[in-house]
Amino acid sequence: MMFGLVLTGPAHAAGPAYVALGDSYSAGNGAGNYDSSSGGCHRSLSSYPYLWKNAHAPSSFADTSCSGAVTTDVTNSQLAPLNSSTGLVSLTVGGNDAGFADVMTTCVTGSDATCVNRVNTAENYARNTLPARLDATYAAIRAKAPNAKVVVLGYPRMYTLNVFCVGLSATKHSKINEAADVIDGVIAARAAAHGFVFGDVRTTFGGHELCSSDDWLHSLVVSPNWESYHPTATGHASGYYPVLNANS
């Protein structure tokens, strides 16, 4: 009997060297399947960066995203893996700068008026202070990874509106969604100014917000509380990953 090679088609080249940066929405808080070695960063092996890595077999992969990160954390603590060989960078950041966690706490525990006032403060910050912070972070990424495609992903709206939903009032739902739109608009504009791609996840999460019949987000979680108001594993797989994949 003679043995020969079985040809199965051309080998697929490895994907580009990929580095994931950002906050809890990048790290995968809420997606479960946490990497114990990531400590308080709570990185999930079910997060959208790992889903992209598993699908595309990049030539190298580093994930320095971390729960609670603001723009200066990215600049000061997350950029070490970047270099001239980096081919793809993904990033979700800006929500913590604008005080997203405090907005949600205030809106859950306070009155409609208190919630609206806190959201207005966050929106003013997003419009007036966040742009310069994003510019500094984006410039630092480009300086360290001059050849990379950079995909900046935004945040979903939290609530499906105009449906019966136990919990926060319709006023709060609408105002929190408005804040997401303001922050996403600022992020999209600054990303475009730096030649980066903005990935809008509001489209994929549409119809899967809290108060929908098929939500991809956690509402208030008692333990661990840092999963509250973050995407589930399905949110990463069906909300974030398709947007990164389509833009990478």
The residues that are catalytic are: 24, 230
Strand segments, DSSP code E, in 120-176 are 149-153
Peptide bond before residue 156 is cis, with ω within 30 degrees of 0: no
Phi, psi at 33, each rounded to 5° = 55, 50
In the chain, what is the greatest distance between 2 CA atoms, to the nearest angstrom? 83
Q: Report the distance separating Cα 216 and Cα 58, nearest Å.
A: 27
How far is Cα 243 from Cα 156, in angstroms, rounded to an integer? 12
Record the tokens describing residue 59, joined without a space: 């030539």
Residues 6+ apart with CB under 8 A from 105: none
Structure tokens at 128: 């007036």
